[in-house]
Amino acid sequence: MANYHFNFAIVWRYAAKLFDGLLLSIELAALTIAIGMAIGLVLALIELDGPRWAKPFIRGYVEFVRNVPLLLLVYLVFYGIPTAIDLEYDATTSFVATLAIYSGAYLVEILRAGLAAVPGGLIEAGKAIGLTPTGVLVHVRLPMALRIALPSLSNTYVSLFKDTSIASAIAVPELAYGMRWIETQTFRTVEVYLMATPIYLVTSYAILLLLRQVERRYAIARQGK
């Protein structure tokens, strides 16, 4: 390795870009997860309990999204749609919408598996105590399904956080964009990377730990039964 003079001072001056970027990445992830879960839940319920004709459409959506690169979807929504329809939105909105649709396709599968795995006996017990189908859904099926799906959901959430880095391609000022920005300004690639990587690692790990805690709390509550 040739001589490389590390110069963290220059990079540190722009550190705010990294931390503001991190904040935005987390916001993007949180918004995406919220919308994605809503999409996933609704579609999973439709696929399990809804009319048969709806299933092929949901399948089509899932298959399409999961087999096409996220980057292409991002471009398609940001550059492609405004040319066809008279709609204008900024990069951040566009990205959140795209990633939410993207995540929905993955979450549908996870939530469907979780709901299908709820033991039939529990559902019957719910009916037996007089709950309406909606009541059974809200009080029996959803809590159980979420508990069952929690490990898969955790992994997906962390992946989505990392996927927010794609937003840098359309100049959304999140963490990866900030990293590139500092690098083009200072040419200090290695230092920037050495600063940005731990940020991603720590945040990913923190999210994972947080979700493991949630997992543990739910489990303890159930053991008494």
Nearer to other proteins, 32 or 164 (CB): 164
Binding flag, residue 171, other proteins (CB under 8 A): no
Q: Quick one: angle between helices 91-116 and 15-49, nearest 10?
A: 40
> Which residue among 53, 83, 121, 128 contacts other proteins (CB under 8 A)?
83
Could you write out the DSSP letters of every residue in 39-58?
HHHHHHHHHHHS-TTHHHHH
Structure tokens at 44: 């999973």
> Which residue among 10, 55, 142, 180 contacts other proteins (CB under 8 A)?
180
Sign of the torsion angle spanned by Cα atoms 146, 149, 151, 156: negative
Q: Cβ of residue 143: shortest distance to other proteins, in angstroms? A: 27
Q: Quick one: angle between helices 15-49 and 142-163, nearest 10?
A: 140
> Which residue among 16, 122, 201, 221 contacts other proteins (CB under 8 A)?
201
Q: Cβ of residue 3: shortest distance to other proteins, in angstroms? A: 9
Nearer to other proteins, 129 or 201 (CB): 201
Binding flag, residue 224, other proteins (CB under 8 A): no
Sign of the torsion angle spanned by Cα atoms 140, 142, 147, 149: positive
Rounded Cα–Cα distance for residues 33 and 43 (Å):
15
What number of chain residues touch other proteins (CB under 8 A)?
41
CA contacts within 13 A on the Cβ side of 171: 4
Binding flag, residue 169, other proteins (CB under 8 A): yes
Rounded Cα–Cα distance for residues 143 and 48 (Å):
17
Q: Are 94 and 190 in contact (CB under 8 A)?
A: no
Nearer to other proteins, 123 or 207 (CB): 207
Binding flag, residue 69, other proteins (CB under 8 A): yes
Rounded Cα–Cα distance for residues 84 and 96 (Å):
20
Binding flag, residue 9, other proteins (CB under 8 A): no
Nearer to other proteins, 84 or 220 (CB): 84
Binding flag, residue 70, other proteins (CB under 8 A): yes
The site for other proteins (CB under 8 A) is made up of 1-2, 4, 63-64, 66-73, 75-76, 79-81, 83-84, 162-166, 168-169, 176, 179-180, 183, 187, 189-190, 193, 196-197, 200-201, 204-205
